[in-house]
A and B are shown apart, each in its own frame.
Chain A
Amino acid sequence: MNHTPTSCAALWVAACLISGCRESHPAAWERLPPKAIVAQADSATAARNAALEPGLLATIQAIPVERWKGPGERPFEVALRSAAPEAGHSRMFGTITLPIALRSRTAAISQYPCTSCHLGQKVVMANKRIQDAHNNIQPVHPDQTGAVCSTCHSDDDVALLTLKSGEQATLDESYRLCAQCHFPEAKTWAGGAHGKRLDGWQGRRVVMACADCHDPHNPVVQVRIPFRAPQIQRPRGHGQ
């Protein structure tokens, strides 16, 4: 379960070697349209810096989400913790930022970047589907809405997400996409009652984004075999 620093480093080196030939492709975050919010550049920097230092968790600055309406119809922003001390402590919606961090996902997609096939091509999956391409992906979510790739992925660049507002978001910002429908989840996620916390209860907070736990193409938690049952002498599972 726990990777030693050595094995992490080895994995990282291996990943770098494999993806080395693909480095000529510009990363998704570099192709974002110029109208993108300034904070996006910060997140890109943070993600890249994290990629340079194996074993470190990437923390990125989240982007204000202007079109969301929080309590009292106020627009709110979800900001993820940065190292900046002015990030404050509150975890409320409104205009207050959250002192929490996000595990980076974009930097981990190095082996088979989407652009190795999709570069410069529009996604036209609504009408036809190329056989054997992504045949493991059956978009069952959102349920019964006839979801296709372009429901969530950007037409111009599948490595980016498209929001209802027409904005684009990186894969790290899945919460922006999901929160367009899942308001209560987004609220409890920001508050601390939803979503897995890592690292610590004090100071630095690391929170996993939606797609870190939920398979975006099939978000329901799948059944599994649990860890072994306790051996309990008493019936009905009281103490030993």
Chain B
Amino acid sequence: MTTDRTAEAQTGPEDPSLLQKRVDRRGALSILVGGLAAGAAAVGACAPLSAETDEEREVKLLAWREYIKGNYRVMTEEERAETIARLERLAQLQRGVDVTIQSTGAQPGVLFGYAFNVSKCKGFRRCIEACINENNLDRNADTQYIRIFEIEDGVVDLDRGDATFQHEVPAEGHFYLGTQCFQCADPPCVKVCPVGATWQEPDGITVIDYDWCIGCRYCMAACPYWARRFNWGAPEVPPEEVNPNQHYLGNRARKKGCVEKCTFCIHRSRQGRLPACVEACPTGARVFGNLLDPDSEIRWVLANKRVFRLKEDLKTEPRFWYFSD
């Protein structure tokens, strides 16, 4: 940091590259008024325009338009379609992958709920594997939304659980309990966001607009369940492993410095499919469904099983229940 400052002092404001680096949102908007071409040049790298290929110029223009777009929640349908078209094109140009980004909204009369059978889970972590592949999680930092805790029989203290076990499972005298984002009905993470980049959708899924997130990580501090993950670097997913079925609020490409978390596989669940973790679980420990449908599996579990939630005293009302056989 100090070295950077010294270098800055030495080169001074004459260095055009430094001038361009200092463009903030307001400054950028004024440049935009002057003309889109100038704006694109200001945001992009310093290569002279003449040496640019058409593709490079297109990337810069798209990236620039992405930079000045609004919050997804207040976008009109047209604006959403435009940003999705840009993001799909950018994925093609920058990563060489053809992706489809949905903007599917919540279905009316649907409120998602999840139940986890602590008697059934054997700690195989197949859910984590499926989650990584399905949600295009950063392979470099090995981001994982789900944690599976190995806990001694008779212990109800999660602090004494171990999520880093690496031995043959199930281990004698232990049970396994998985956590992920619980999609609270009263989410503290949403309350603390200073920019409104995270909110709760009508079907109960708390989502993040990755492009509106400023990376302050207040939400991570507020979440009592440690459900959110931060991108310290730009997430890396090999192009051949990218899941092209994406949602704007879900598993699309994230950028460096934004927060992400489990969305109950919003791109799947809103189409009536089960989240990847549910489908991957080899023991059937995971139950997912519509809380408002009295005939759903999740309602059967709530009505017929003894259930509990984690940290209920905090009144965050998680929509994630644990039960046993």
Distance of B141 from chain A, by nearest CB (Å): 8
> A48 interface residue, CB < 8 Å from B?
no
- The one of B283, B288, B301 in contact with A221, judged by C-beta atoms closer than 8 angstroms, is B283
Chain A 194-225, CB-CB to B under 8 Å as 1, else 0, gives 11111111110000100001000000010111
Asked if B284 and A197 make an inter-chain contact with CB atoms under 8 angstroms apart, the answer reads yes
- The verdict on A236 contacting B323 (CB below 8 Å), with A193-B304, A194-B284, A200-B272 known, is no
Residues in B with CB closer than 8 Å to A105 are none
Cβ < 8 Å to A, chain B residues 62-103: none
Residues in A with CB closer than 8 Å to B320 are none
> A238 interface residue, CB < 8 Å from B?
yes
Residues in B with CB closer than 8 Å to A90 are 295
Q: Give Cα A192–Cα B117 distance, bound, in whole angstroms.
A: 11
- The verdict on A201 contacting B297 (CB below 8 Å), with A191-B304, A193-B305 known, is yes
Distance of B187 from chain A, by nearest CB (Å): 16
- The one of A192, A228, A232, A237 in contact with B287, judged by C-beta atoms closer than 8 angstroms, is A192
> B317 interface residue, CB < 8 Å from A?
no
Distance of B268 from chain A, by nearest CB (Å): 9
Q: Give Cα A237–Cα B177 distance, bound, in whole angstroms.
A: 12
Q: Give Cα A99–Cα B323 distance, bound, in whole angstroms.
A: 24
Cβ < 8 Å to A, chain B residues 240-284: 269, 272-274, 278-279, 281-284
> A74 interface residue, CB < 8 Å from B?
no
Which A residue sits closest to B290, measured CB to CB?
Answer: A201
Q: Give Cα A237–Cα B176 distance, bound, in whole angstroms.
A: 13
> A240 interface residue, CB < 8 Å from B?
yes
Residues in B with CB closer than 8 Å to A200 are 272-274
Asked if B142 and A231 make an inter-chain contact with CB atoms under 8 angstroms apart, the answer reads yes
Q: Give Cα A206–Cα B161 distance, bound, in whole angstroms.
A: 34
Chain A 167-194, CB-CB to B under 8 Å as 1, else 0, gives 0000000000000000010001001111
Chain B 208-245, CB-CB to A under 8 Å as 1, else 0, gives 00000000000010010011111000000000000000
Q: Give Cα A152–Cα B120 distance, bound, in whole angstroms.
A: 26
Which A residue sits closest to B110, measured CB to CB?
Answer: A202
Asked if B147 and A196 make an inter-chain contact with CB atoms under 8 angstroms apart, the answer reads no
Distance of B322 from chain A, by nearest CB (Å): 12
Residues in A with CB closer than 8 Å to B223 are 239
Residues in B with CB closer than 8 Å to A221 are 122, 170, 283
> A226 interface residue, CB < 8 Å from B?
yes
Residues in A with CB closer than 8 Å to B278 are 197
Q: Give Cα A1–Cα B276 distance, bound, in whole angstroms.
A: 12
Q: Give Cα A229–Cα B301 distance, bound, in whole angstroms.
A: 30
> A227 interface residue, CB < 8 Å from B?
yes
> A103 interface residue, CB < 8 Å from B?
no
- The verdict on A196 contacting B272 (CB below 8 Å), with A229-B165, A237-B164 known, is no
Q: Give Cα A63–Cα B58 distance, bound, in whole angstroms.
A: 62
Asked if B124 and A224 make an inter-chain contact with CB atoms under 8 angstroms apart, the answer reads yes
Asked if A193 and B125 make an inter-chain contact with CB atoms under 8 angstroms apart, the answer reads no
Q: Give Cα A236–Cα B226 distance, bound, in whole angstroms.
A: 12
List 18 interface pairs A-B (beta carbons < 8 Å), by A numbering. A91-B295, A184-B325, A193-B115, A193-B297, A196-B281, A196-B284, A197-B274, A197-B284, A197-B287, A201-B290, A213-B284, A224-B124, A226-B165, A229-B125, A230-B128, A236-B159, A237-B149, A239-B229
Q: 3 nearest interchain CB pairs?
A: A192-B297, A237-B163, A239-B226
**Inter-chain pairs besides A197-B278, A227-B126, A232-B163, 19 sampled, C-beta below 8 Å:** A188-B325, A191-B304, A192-B289, A192-B296, A193-B300, A193-B304, A193-B305, A196-B283, A198-B274, A201-B273, A213-B282, A223-B169, A223-B170, A226-B166, A226-B169, A227-B124, A228-B166, A232-B164, A240-B141
